[in-house]
Structure 1
Amino acid sequence: MEFYNKIGRLALGSRMRRLTELHMDQASKVYALYNVEMQSKWFPVYYTLCNGEEKTITQIAQEIGHSHPSVSIIVKEMTKKGIVKESPYKGDGRKNYVMLTEKGMSYDERLQEQFLDVNAAIEGALAETQHNLWKAIEEWEYILEQRSLDKRVIDAKKQRESKDILIVDYDPKYQPAFKQLNEEWITTYFKMEEADYKSLDHAKEYILDKGGYILFALDKGEPIGTCALIKKDEDTFELAKMAVSPLAKGKGIGSLLGNAVIERAKSVGAKKLYLESNMILKPAISLYQKLGFKKVIGNPSPYERCNIQMELNLVK
């Protein structure tokens, strides 16, 4: 137990596995008390068949929430012990029915007695605990079904890494990065156009001098992402030239930049943000939707690649 106390919640899966192994080991001794040749892992399969029904492995797997290969292995083990048998499935020769044998059916009376005693023992054990393990397991299963552990770890990773990211305003020394980051993603999917060269080669004249802004995401001082706000009129800015280095993908940089430019637009009194994109850029479109942008029919675009226009109202 010292290991688990030392490492804490990082070993949650291992701790649960240890508890499972402990429970399975003690359960095997319980079956022996009732002279039933059974393993704990077989019980769910046995229980689905104990009323005498024939079922396919697929049906059993769906009913007990196990994988098809897992049930298939258990059925093979129970078949070797003479507890279940398989017979051809009439509708499809590639499938088999599974049912209890006479030996398997003979366990019923003893198992009914065992069920009563085990249930009483479990209830007694639960009464000795401060927390109801059964309810805790139900709750844990539910939250993992809502959002899996791996996705939760991805979120935690992004949050941790984002703490090291600094959002700063344009500086002439970042001009090469502004062009490189944008040119990199544009040429990956499309071709550079005249409007691109105007804004990327002459950022000061085309964006900044007209009342716009350019923000950069820095990681240890290195620009890994950028986004511009181009002033369209007194009330409207265009969110444009958002680009993130491929080396920084998955760190949530786009979200950080998106939120930063929205806050900047609000701070200078903008009432609306507008953007142009292409629907093949699914991660980008998803990000814009999460930021609150909605599809609109806008004015003709200077970009050939534009096939979707979106807006975000900043005034509620």
Structure 2
Amino acid sequence: MKNIIDDAGILAIGTRLLRIHDLLRAEGNSFYKTQGIEFETKWFPVLYVLSIKSPLGIMELAQQIGLSHPALIVLLKELEKRDLVDSLKDARDERKRNMFLTKKGSDLVFQLRPIWTIIKSVLLDLTENTNNLLKALNETEEKLKESSFLQRAEALVKEKLSEKQYPEVITVKLVSTAEEQSIVSAIIKQELAVAYPSVSKNDSFYYLGLINGIPAGSAVLSLITENQSVFDLAVLPPYQNKGLESALSNAIHAKK
């Protein structure tokens, strides 16, 4: 039965991969026990790599496995306590530790190889689907090497910030208060050097243009005679070419 996390789709891919990992680990550990072998799946990468190439320095081992240095140290300590791996000082650098399989570790790997053959067959059967999981993981890891999740997420944030994420709301109102008339007069005077009284006469109409509620432009329509009129229109520089000029002009022509 699907749950909320399943419905979340790609957003929950990390959780779902972890869920598969936990399921495979638990059942893998149980399978080792049924075969009479004391082994945990988390030990596999270290023992497998050291069975192929040994000895290896800790940093090189971490690179071969793909584990962080701290996580590998914890795992190595556990395996050393079980006498499965050991270390020796590097001949060229005494500060460097080279890891290798002990006799007990090598014997365990010898026992495990037939088991790993069975596990490999089961995993191939599980992943050989229409959309091959192993192939998809390889492709995803290659993409992460090219550019990490963090780098991609930060780049997308920058891209979104550079775009207009929200539409700009343009409003034009015929003002009715002395305060609004003062704003209209100040914008006209600043941009056009034309002075209007802060309180209009009966033959003048003051228009205030706003973008997202912020005063951004003004217009004043003055009636000269019954059939003649003039107007001044100004928009502050940060808000020019956003459509406010047309909105103010349309409001004035509608009044005419």
- The TM-score by the shorter chain falls in which range? 0.5 to 0.7
CA distance in 2 between partners of 1:16 and 1:35 (Å): 29
Q: Which residue of 2 aligns with 1:252?
A: none
What TM-score do the two structures reach when normalised by structure 1? 0.50
CA distance in 2 between partners of 1:5 and 1:65 (Å): 28
1:19 deviates by 1.4
Cα gap change, 1:28 to 1:204, in 2 (>3 Å): farther
Greater radius of gyration (CA): 2
Matches within 5 A, 1:65-214: 65-127=66-128, 129-154=129-154, 155=156, 158-159=159-160, 162-164=164-166, 166=168
Residues paired across the two proteins, number? 188
**1:38 alignment partner, SS class:** coil
Q: Is the Cα–Cα contact under 8 Å of residues 51 and 109 in structure 2 kept in the other structure?
A: yes
Paired amino acid for 1:78: L
Q: What are structure 1's unaligned runs of at least 5 residues? A: 177-201, 206-217, 224-242, 244-260, 262-316
CA distance in 1 between partners of 2:192 and 2:68 (Å): 60
Moved more, 117-126 or 40-49: 117-126
CA RMSD of aligned residues (A): 3.8
CA distance in 1 between partners of 2:14 and 2:168 (Å): 35
Q: Is the Cα–Cα contact under 8 Å of residues 6 and 12 in structure 2 kept in the other structure?
A: no
Cα gap change, 1:93 to 1:115, in 2 (>3 Å): same
Q: Which residue of 1 aligns with 2:244?
A: none
Matched, 1:19 2:30: no
Q: Which residue of 2 aligns with 1:292?
A: none
Q: Which residue of 2 aligns with 1:64?
A: 65
Q: What are structure 2's unaligned runs of at least 5 residues? A: 171-182, 194-210, 216-237, 242-256
Paired amino acid for 1:163: Q
1:222 deviates by 5.5
1:113 deviates by 0.6
